Structure 1
């Protein structure tokens, strides 16, 4: 007699933590890195309408793909726009006509669709030793952990309040620690009158279609770097975040779906979206929910919040960006403490890979930037070279080996 595994039931009382994790992830993403999109739009000479269309396209695209992937996989698949790519475009758009840039976006997106459909990305993931992967994740997230306490130098009262509240809540109610500091911080800022919402007006965004223009110059100077930067700076660490927290969904459908989404949204201004890395860690760890089988709700919540931002365009983005930088950095760092600690423990667990994992951690934390490629790629490359030299070769990991990234076995209901 055959049996089927149905998705785990979700009760109303279970929703609070994953929904708040999804909300924090969205706030951190808009409050922390979205300024790069505005900077790139300014460099490109885009007017308010095209800038609003860019915001609409990436917000709706990220929301729909993340919601869809989380629903079908029952895992917290958090998607986001490519932050390192946005930083790259701040420079690249100064010398590239906008229509040619849109053509380059289309080429880059099509390349990701091909990569996902081919299956080679998943094979590449399996070559990475678990300890090196955990060291990479810890190194990427280290600056956020440091930023949580570095805020004391800038705003000691705000940062200090959040840190103390986090420790106290962890002691007496660990499940509500991150939710508690979010609400406490918002209340503190409102009392101080530092968040002024009186002048806000809800306005629906209006997407604008730009006819793409294809050129060899844009192919080499925008499409190729955009593809490599997004691959190394977003997809690689993003998949390692999922693996580190025990989720097993193949990378291939994620790359394919986000690539298709980017392809559809490129004519409206979207440069690239992909699986998230840093903000994903807020939703994939136990702080989002103790039971891994129920963390997929955070992916659904984040998708819905992204869609709401997209619908109302610049209005809600302005709300997120109105939060003080110290509030965003402290909130993000404290929300990621558990993930950082777990990653460090996993990185040091295997004596065979311990030194290579430490090298990977330090190299990733140094955030090396060469040839326009960010620190995640160089940290991983240095760590893999170190592992190969110290052990004679890279491991030939079977499919099941990537689950060793996370010591606790994942509940069956968490995988598709």
Structure 2
């Protein structure tokens, strides 16, 4: 060995300390800040506590395993997440005709559409071509109900709700990323102190996957599958690609969209609603803090994937705790988690003065929760707003 070779620093093959910290942080924030939204959404469309726990676990484990595989395969920090806006959509949709089995059928259809969007580029381009004011307005309308929950919780359970909100507000002033996890931790502490968990069977705390036989109905496909597909693609997958591109990673978007759809199909029979590329937590894994060397940041996403698998095994315990708590309190925490997304969506819906009226109509119809022909308000909001949008541009072209 020459002297120059002896002076060469050893090549680090495993993850750096920074990558491990970033990965654990990304998974912890991603899980703690939105698992209550997922449980609320699944139970709103008819899932039992056991089925909701199964769906949460399936989503966490599948996205963890897939992130590990994709990150190693591409040597890029590719992070996956469950569709939080999609879960909020379920919470606003309510029970569907045919019960949870029909909802699972809709999850499968949504997953197939995501696969097609990746394989058949015109479909992906069509989703990307949905006018931003309409997509944002529909998302804002979906989120409004949960974002009002903290206010309602103050009226129903003032001591608990104010404690949680004050915790969230104080932590947010110092580090916004930790605000929702801090609120979740405070909620758990309050529930442990005040809730009698003696009635919870110990067996129910073990992680168990509960398969659900899907059924298919036109109302569930139109009212759940199509809006779920649109919000997952428009507000999660496309921004997730933007985060990777902003950090100078250029994977094939079609291939990644296809993978998220396939992962959604794997999780759906066990109650999982949708998986997609991560955006906020992806920024943690893809940024400078994960590793000074961009070529080694994929380790952060790998560690995040491993952490998600571990956290997924706690889904039954988390669901059991939430099942023993007042629903309005869980909705309040979910609402705090979605305030940022709601504000961004509302701004995006109203920013363009020309299309503001179409955005307002989409928002109001969606937020009304109106259900016609068994189809949820999110679909009708997009239809009504789309009609106003088309009329506005037809009138402008005629002048």
TM-score w.r.t. the length of structure 2 is 0.68
Does 2:239 correspond to 1:239? no
Change (3 A) 1:367 1:116: farther
Post-superposition shift, 1:174? 3.5
1:18 maps to what in 2? 26
1:205 maps to what in 2? 208
Q: CA RMSD in A?
A: 4.9
Q: What is the distance in 2 between the residues matched to 1:59 and 1:80? A: 11
Q: What is the distance in 1 between the residues matched to 2:172 and 2:53? A: 40
Change (3 A) 1:162 1:284: farther
Aligned length: 362
Asked if the contact 1:26/1:302 (under 8 Å) is kept, the reply is: no
Post-superposition shift, 1:157? 0.9
1:136 is aligned, of 120, 135, 138, to 138
Post-superposition shift, 1:351? 1.9
Asked if the contact 2:224/2:376 (under 8 Å) is kept, the reply is: no
**Runs of 5+ in structure 2 lacking a partner?**
1-14, 246-250, 291-297
**Which region of structure 1 is more displaced relative to structure 2, 26-35 or 292-301?**
292-301
Does 2:386 correspond to 1:380? no
Asked if the contact 1:359/1:383 (under 8 Å) is kept, the reply is: yes
Q: What is the distance in 1 between the residues matched to 2:158 and 2:126? A: 44
1:27 maps to what in 2? 35
Post-superposition shift, 1:383? 1.8
Post-superposition shift, 1:159? 0.9
Change (3 A) 1:56 1:190: closer
Change (3 A) 1:354 1:51: closer
Q: What is the distance in 2 between the residues matched to 1:289 and 1:40? A: 32
TM-score w.r.t. the length of structure 1 is 0.66
Change (3 A) 1:197 1:127: same
Q: What is the distance in 2 between the residues matched to 1:162 and 1:389? A: 45
Post-superposition shift, 1:62? 5.3
Asked if the contact 2:77/2:285 (under 8 Å) is kept, the reply is: no
Does 2:98 correspond to 1:92? yes
Q: What is the distance in 2 between the residues matched to 1:135 and 1:8? A: 42
Partner of 2:274: helix, strand, or coil?
strand
What does residue range 321-340 of structure 1 map to in structure 2 within 5 Å? 321-340=323-342
